[in-house]
Amino acid sequence: MKALRTHAVGGPDTLTLDELDSPVPGPGQVRIKVKACSINFPDVLIIQDLYQFKPQRPFSPGGEVAGIVDALGEGVTGWNVGDRVIAMMGNGGLAEEVLADAARMWPLPADASFETGASLLMTYGTNMHGLLDRGHLKAGDTLLVLGAAGGVGLAAVELGKAYGAKVVAAVSSEDKAAVVREHGADEVVVYPRAPLDKDQSKALAEAFKAACGPNGADVVYDIIGGDYSEPAVRSIAWEGRFCVVGFTAGIAKLPLNLTLLKSCDVCGVFWGAFAARDPQANAKHIATLFELLKAGKINPKVSATFPLERGGEAIQLLADRKAIGKVVVTMN
């Protein structure tokens, strides 16, 4: 079988397509014949040794897959060869066959494509935890999403609308603005490219305030960080919740006096750790996601697909911040 792997620290161009033996499932493991593997921003970081976890090389990036059960390890129950499944990998997904822990798999709904299945768990799972557990989002709230056209951002827009919030989507281009409107955004702010000088930062804060309304944003969902975080905090509501989700534009430095003036909370969103620490709560969120998918309230947008041998290009698309919605690698 083939796998796209990293052998040394570097960018997507350093990945190589290797021929390997089929992996043999151990106790509690399932072998999956991969049909689709979605690309997420951690894949950009993990091959550069910039992510929280640094797997031993060589390894394949790719944190979530959809495919068909091919073989069962000792002690595995509840799954059968031929089952259509979704699995969380952490890494290793950019391969024709993978081993997954049976406890980290879910059945793929019969009417969902493999591309949709591979695009569901990390983005929407992150947002179920981030918006509900950390942001305490409720109907009638105003939600400001930074980086709203990416995979996590677009999922946050959809879930915000599903839970009855007014959604303000912040994006970097008019093309992206059109996409977030299609997915339900009530207001859109197009922000300039960083770095932002003092006047640009102040103008962006005013734009956020105007879009959110006189009370400000009850929840700010910050997927990009960098120079965009401070203007967003300046637009937050009294006792608002500022959710730190990602840093595609760099790690922000916030003037903490703003948190006092707004009596707001700053909270981190680390879905992977949450899922590991409280698998039952995570399983409830995933079950809710399947219900929302069936009801048509969420629908992952797969904007680009690549074959396995061009998986590096898929990762580069996210590294260049050009991806809209989800980017997926598909297997023959």
Q: In the prediction, which pLDDT does 332 show?
A: 77
Assigned domain for 282 exists = no
The answer to whether residue 130 sits within a structural domain is yes
Greater model confidence, 52 or 217: 217
User: Is the domain of 162 the same as that of 256?
Assistant: yes
Q: What is the pLDDT of residues 15-52, one digit of tens each?
A: 999 999 999 999 999 999 999 999 999 999 999 998 88
Q: pLDDT confidence of 322, banded at 50, 70, 90?
A: confident
Q: What is the dihedral of CA 9, 12, 17, 22, to 10 degrees?
A: 70
Cross-strand pairs, 107: 85
Query: Is 200 part of any domain?
Result: yes
Q: What's the structural domain count of the chain?
A: 2
What region does 238 belong to: left with phi over 0, alpha with psi -120 to 50, or beta? beta
pLDDT at 171 over 90: yes
Average pLDDT, the chain: 95
Whole-number pLDDT of residue 52? 82
Question: Which residue in the block uniquely carries the two structure tokens 């490219």?
Answer: 193
CATH of the domain at 313: 3.90.180.10
What pLDDT sits at residue 114? Answer: 97
* Together in a domain, 31 and 82: yes
What is the pTM (predicted TM-score) of this model? 0.90
β-pairing, 64-72 with 84-88? antiparallel
Residue 318 lies in a domain: yes
Task: Give me the pLDDT at residue 229, please.
Answer: 96
| Domain of 243, in residue numbers | 123-272
Residues 92 and 202 in one domain: no
Nearest residue to 325 via CA among 176, 129, 192: 176
pLDDT of amino acid 329:
98
Residue 244 included in any domain: yes
**pLDDT tens-place string over residues 108-144:** 998 899 999 999 999 999 999 999 999 999 999 999 9
* Domain presence at residue 291: no
**Two structure tokens written together for 236:** 């937050």
- Name the DSSP letter for residue 95: B
Residues 108 and 176 in one domain: no
Q: Tell whether the model's pLDDT for residue 249 goes beyond 90.
A: no
